[in-house]
Amino acid sequence: MSRHRNVRNLDIDDVLDDGYDDADYAEEQVMTAEEQVQMADATEDVKSMLGGAKVTIKEIQDALWYYYFDIDQAAVYLLDELSKKQKAATAAATKKASSTPKPAQSGTATPTGTSSKSVAPAKAKETPKGLASATQDDDIIEFLDDEEAPASQLQFDLAAMNFGSSLKTQFAKKAAGGTSFAKAPLLNGGDGFDRSGAVTPVGSAPPSGISTPSRASTKMGKRIDVVTEYQKRVAEKESLNLVVIGHVDAGKSTLMGHLLYLQGEVNEKTIRKHERDAQKIGKASFAFAWVLDETGEERARGITMDVGVTKFETENRRFTLLDAPGHRDFIPNMISGTAQADVAVLVVDATTGEFESGFDANGQTKEHALLARSLGVQQLVVAVNKLDVVGWSESRFQEIVAKLEQFLVKDASFKKSSLIFVPCSGFTGENLVRRSKTGQICNGSAVSDAPVDPLVASVVETFAWYKGPTLIQTIDKLDAPTRAVEKPFRMSVTDVFKGTGGVSAAGRLEAGHVQIGEAVMVMPGSEMAVVKNMEVNDEPTRWAAAGDSVLLTLSGIDIMQVSTGSVLCPRDAPIPVTTHFAAQIVVFDVKIPITVGFPIIMHHQSHNEPGVISKLVSTIDKGTGEVVKKNPRHLGKNTTAMVEIRLNGRAIPLETFKDSKELGRVMLRKGGETVAAGIVTKILSFGS
């Protein structure tokens, strides 16, 4: 049996039974010269991975020795040990302060998967002898920062959870990301554990006296100053996450698939293949949509079900494209995708009757727009699509603009100046990247000899009225929001799978930054992992920052402990995990007023959790923010109110809107309709 396993899962019986004879450890071992070099390098690596955590060189080297220089395992083990000590210290402090009111936080339980028994290298390889010992001062890795840990950093221990997946694994196409451990306050004060360096993992004899090498480790590479790198990158080209939303069949996937083709992100061979294959199943018109609709079921049904993710670049911007499903059954996926977006393209079908059915009460045009706005999207491009079907009619375009603008400004609270309307045809490609000229008419096919529809053939004359920018020119001008790069690292996981070399977790960095070699904590569950690799836009990278969509390879963790909906964070600044919180909500067009006990499905990032509105605190004047009525009996449509929400089951990671604009928003739905949108104002219970 290998001893290169995660110590957290060690069981004493296992330990006793692992095939090693005690006699093996009776002798003192001496490190070879080669091992000393290896130890020196690995020590630097682990130090770097632990960020500022106060761990002694001796502890690091004990762990490295035990794990045969496996730096990931050693780092995860050490972090786990620190976490346990901190929890024990907090528990002791809580006990001592029994006369004071009980704090809201709970959760001093051992993290899932952590044995409460001796988890240290109980049968560690004996430490070699004869190496000079470092002084106490040299022995401590100092914190980079000594910020005080907020109360919310108290432990949030929960069983690891399993949530449904919502994003396609295709995400691998865009990301950039990074997290960092620039600050490590939690370990730095008030937690009561011994930082003197005298703590030795149980049963592990120290490899005493290996002097720490001064040269930098080569294996992990140098720590990157991510903030500086990020600023350089932004100066070169800004990155934005763009979601494409709208009623079912409005032409979202076709439009974006065609745009990707015209931008050279998809080659002609692929489009021709899609045309042939789509034709075979009688879905010829879906060839461009197949660029984003990748699953067999989506292609067979001709609808998008999951959010398709890919990337493309314009002259001045890098985009992560999220193609949302329009069908109402998949609104949870649409919410999950839109939660990651900075800007949106709302696609509407200009066809007579089709725009109207998307726009009426049962259509998704309004609901998608409201959701996008509630999820923080401020800039909206409206693609008035399928204009080929209405003979490139200017009056139809203007009619749609007028109706939509009124709704978007008045009801959905978009600023008029943040709305841009672009007429186009996703099918023919008209006005996506260029306009048709005489003799060069886009005909909706990558196959140049395809017949040209008479309506399409008239485009040059009949569409001459439009003098504005193309869709690509429009989105190239969208502003990137200010990113919370210097806040504690947060990555919401949208997809998890077993990858080569570890657990692959895809998602978006909501705040902070991350780099290879850093240790991250997975919430809920408080399990630690080390970032072994990462990808952005299919390209390997060493760091990523807020706003980036990333694919991380995590080591030192079991796939069961990371789920869609998990949030990765630094262990010293964990995200709260809760089932009970206060929120300020805006009630949508509800048929039945909201009363106490009103059941809801709460959507937050990739989570959708059943719960109830447990308390109606007050109604609020939307304009002034003042309380209009305390303890109202019910909330009617368009009311703004403070409420409390209780989830029925598992706790989820959640932040107040004040702490995170990205992780502090919730959507409340019932019976397949969105009843309210809200921002989290206070976390009322922690950890369960």
Which residues are at the interface with Mg ion (CB under 5 A)?
A: 252-253, 304
Phi-psi region of 455 (alpha: psi -120 to 50; beta: other; left: phi over 0): alpha
Core vs surface per residue 223-247: b (16+ CB within 10 A) or e: bbebbebbeebeeeebbbbbbbbbb
Binding mask 208-247 for ligand GTP (x = CB under 6 A): --------------------------------------x-
**Contact between 634 and ligand GTP per CB under 6 A:** no
| Minimal distance, residue 299 CB to Mg ion, in Å | 11
Residue 170 to residues 129, 313, 550, Cα–Cα distance (Å): 52, 17, 12
Residue 151 Cβ vs Mg ion, minimum distance, rounded to whole Å: 44
**For ligand GTP, which residue of 15, 184, 250, 511 counts as binding (CB under 6 A)?**
250
* Strand bridging mode 419-423 / 379-385: parallel
Which partner, Mg ion, ligand GTP, none, binds residue 319 by CB below 5 to 8 Å per kind?
A: none
Angle made by CA atoms 39, 40, 43, in degrees to the nearest 5? 80
Select from 325, 499, 574, 632 the one that contacts ligand GTP (CB under 6 A): 325
Q: Is 385 in the site for ligand GTP (CB under 6 A)?
A: yes
User: Applying CB under 6 A, does 308 fall inside the site for ligand GTP?
Assistant: no
Q: Give the β-pairing of 317-323 and 238-245.
A: parallel
Helix/strand/coil (H, E, C) string of 575-637? CCEECEEEEEEEECCCCCCECCCEEEEEEECCEEEEEEEEEEEEEECCCCCCEEEECCCCECC
Is 252 a residue that touches ligand GTP (CB under 6 A)? yes
Nearer to ligand GTP, 326 or 524 (CB): 326
| Shortest separation between residue 426's beta carbon and ligand GTP, angstroms | 4
User: Rounded to an integer, what distance in angstroms lies between the CA atom of residue 314 and that of residue 60?
Assistant: 47
- Options 192-200, 215-223, 321-329, 644-652: segment touching ligand GTP (CB under 6 A): 321-329
User: At what angle are helices 57-66 and 33-49 packed, to 10 degrees?
Assistant: 120
For the chain, the residue count is: 688
Interface segment toward ligand GTP; rule CB under 6 A; list 86-94, 406-414, 420-428, 665-673: 420-428
Q: Confirm or reject binding of residue 254 to ligand GTP (CB under 6 A).
A: yes
Closer CB to Mg ion, 295 or 614, in the complex: 295
Alpha-carbon distances of 112 from 80, 106, 191, 414, 579, rounded to whole Å: 11, 15, 21, 44, 18
Rounded CA separation 201/64 (Å): 11
Question: Closest separation between CB of residue 334 and Mg ion, Å?
Answer: 11
Q: Which is nearer to ligand GTP, 5 or 327 (CB)?
A: 327
Quote the tokens at residue 153.
């950093």
Extract the tokens encoding 149.
Answer: 């840990």
| Whole-angstrom distance, CA of residue 569 vs CA of residue 488 | 7
Contact between 341 and ligand GTP per CB under 6 A: no
Number of Cβ within 10 Å of residue 486's Cβ equals 16
Q: What is the DSSP letter of 234?
A: H
Query: And the tokens for 633?
Result: 């009996």
Whose CB is nearest to ligand GTP? 326
Query: Is the CB of 181 or the CB of 330 nearer to ligand GTP?
Result: 330
Query: For residues 327 and 615, which CB has a smaller minimum distance to ligand GTP in the complex?
Result: 327
Residues 6+ apart with CB under 8 A from 128: 28, 29, 30, 31, 35, 65, 207
Note whether 633 and 616 are within 8 A (CB): yes
Told to check if 358 binds ligand GTP by CB under 6 A, we report no
* Contact status: 128 vs ligand GTP (CB under 6 A): no
Residue from the set 52, 177, 206, 251 that interacts with ligand GTP by CB under 6 A: 251
Among ligand GTP, Mg ion, none, partner that 492 touches (CB below 5 to 8 angstroms by kind): none
> Which span (152-160, 381-389, 506-514, 544-552) binds ligand GTP, by CB under 6 A?
381-389
- Asked if 304 interacts with ligand GTP (CB under 6 A), we say yes
Which phi-psi region, left, alpha or beta, contains residue 643 (left: φ > 0; alpha: ψ -120 to 50)?
Answer: beta
* 253 belongs to the binding site for ligand GTP (CB under 6 A): yes
Residues 6+ apart with CB under 8 A from 49: 71, 72, 75, 220, 517, 518, 519, 530
Encoded tokens for 115: 């044995």
Nearer CB in complex with ligand GTP: 206/363: 363
Work out the angle between the directed axes of helices 364-374 and 331-338 (0-180°, nearest 10).
30
CA distance 550 to 292: 19
Question: Is 481 among the residues that bind ligand GTP (CB under 6 A)?
Answer: no
Helix 71-96 and helix 57-66, axial crossing angle in degrees, nearest 10: 130
Site string for ligand GTP, 426-455 (x = CB under 6 A): xx----------------------------
Q: Which is nearer to ligand GTP, 299 or 317 (CB)?
A: 299
Q: Does 114 bind ligand GTP (CB under 6 A)?
A: no
Q: Residue 389 binds which entry of Mg ion, ligand GTP, none, with Cβ cut-offs from 5 to 8 Å by kind?
A: ligand GTP
Would you say 445 or 492 has its CB closer to ligand GTP? 445
Residues in contact with ligand GTP, counted by CB under 6 A, come to a total of 24
Q: How far is the CB of 88 from ligand GTP (least distance, A)?
A: 52
Does residue 466 bind ligand GTP (CB under 6 A)?
Answer: no
Task: Answer with the entry of Mg ion, ligand GTP, none that 327 interacts with (C-beta below 5 to 8 A by kind).
Answer: ligand GTP
**What's the token pair of residue 69?**
């220089």
Which one, 390 or 663, has the nearer CB to ligand GTP? 390
Q: Of the candidates 131, 248, 529, 654, which one interacts with ligand GTP according to CB under 6 A? A: 248
Residues that bind ligand GTP (CB under 6 A): 246, 248-255, 285-286, 289, 303-304, 325-327, 385-386, 388-389, 425-427
